[in-house]
Structure 1
Amino acid sequence: MADLDEQASDLPECPSAKGTGLLPPELRAWMLLLAATGAVEQRLRSVVKERLDVSHDEFLVLCLLAEHPREGLRMTRVAELLGRPKTRLTYQIACLQRAGLVTRKAVCGDRRGVEIALTDKARTLLREASGSLAETVAGALTHVVGPDQCAAVRGLLDLAGEAGPGPASEAVGTPD
């Protein structure tokens, strides 16, 4: 934890965290959260490509499906949770299917519905890569998130927690 504090203290002060601008605290915190997310994504891209041989967007699909041990998710729900157009998701799923990482099947009783699930190969790859992926995320966050940023984002998350769990938390298996 001392290393984390040392790294965070080396960071330049974040102007958004001061609250001296025009934005209310919720928007400042959101901007800080986006910056942290962007830093993580930037570092993860090469590790994901090296370890899993998939794009970052395909990796996000795999992570979402990884939260569902055996059952799959409807493609429309995956598109909704990832904020992706269905047509783009269809292409990504086709790539993942060709790589042997996901399966597709029709949803019983809905001729237009398609459900996707991880294959055992994907589960094994994710299990093997999870350590280096987690280290990459932690490293990226400690590089860009200091105490001021943590406090701002924590405030935003506290507000979200007061509102209660949303439909997205149910889909990814987050406890109520």
Structure 2
Amino acid sequence: MADQQPQEVRWLDEAEQASWRAILRGTRLLEEALDGALRGSGIQLTEYEIISMLSEAPGQRLRMSELASMVVQSRSRLTHTAKRLEDRGWVARQSCLADKRGVELVLTPAGKEAIERIAEVHVQSVRDNLVDILTPEQFMAIGHAMAIVRDHLDPEERSGR
């Protein structure tokens, strides 16, 4: 194995540092605002994201490992979150229809009712805290930029797994 010289760090210049800090703080504040808007409905943003993904999935069910990847959670964290949703009667764990070895999370009728009710709160919060404070061009630019980041960090996402 050849000796590899450490690469010299390319430090951020002042403008890059300001943009990076704005991205970091802005995404954290946005997540906090979206989570706060859902709090009145008795749900956390991470829980909402899961039942939302299930509501859009074929048969309203997804394999736990696939869902964990989609919502960027470890499998153990997803298991804990799923337990909270199960306790509310919004989801159920079932054997995978395809191979019986895996476990799928399935949206229940009560979960479907909850997502339909809570979605309005979430969408309004997304509009109030992001979409409507930007021009359409700015919003699309953020979406395109984050898609590049997503594809860099999760190349399987780009290929559709």
Fold shared by both chains (TM-score > 0.5): yes
| 8 Å Cα contact 2:50-2:67 kept in structure 1 | yes
Q: Which structure 1 segments of 5+ residues have no match? A: 1-18, 172-176
- 2:110 maps to what in 1? 121
Using the alignment, how far apart are the partners of 2:50 and 2:147 within structure 1?
A: 27
CA 78–20 in structure 1, closer or farther in 2 if over 3 Å, else same: same
1:38 matched to 2:32? The reply is no
- 1:6 maps to what in 2? none
Q: How far off its partner does 1:154 sit? A: 5.6
Instruction: Point out 4+ residue stretches in structure 1 off by more than 6 angstroms.
Output: none
Using the alignment, how far apart are the partners of 1:84 and 1:154 within structure 2?
A: 21
**Pick aligned residue for 1:66 from 55, 69, 89:** 55
Secondary structure of the structure 2 residue equivalent to 1:116: strand
CA 156–65 in structure 1, closer or farther in 2 if over 3 Å, else same: same
1:80-104: CA deviations, max 9, x gaps? 1122111111111111111100011
Q: Which structure 2 segments of 5+ residues have no match? A: 1-12
Query: Quick one: higher RCO (CA 8 Å, sep 6+), 1 or 2?
Result: 1
CA 46–36 in structure 1, closer or farther in 2 if over 3 Å, else same: same
Per the normalisation by structure 2, the TM-score is 0.68
1:154-175: CA deviations, max 9, x gaps? 6526868xx9xx754758xxxx
What RMSD in Å do the two structures reach over aligned CA positions? 3.7
Secondary structure of the structure 1 residue equivalent to 2:130: helix
Q: Which moved more, 1:56-65 or 1:72-81?
A: 56-65
- 1:85 maps to what in 2? 74
- 2:83 maps to what in 1? 94
- 2:130 maps to what in 1? 141
Q: How far off its partner does 1:47 sit? A: 2.4
Per the normalisation by structure 1, the TM-score is 0.63
**Pick aligned residue for 1:50 from 31, 34, 40:** 40
| 8 Å Cα contact 2:48-2:115 kept in structure 1 | no
Identity, in percent, stands at 21
**Pick aligned residue for 1:75 from 53, 59, 64:** 64
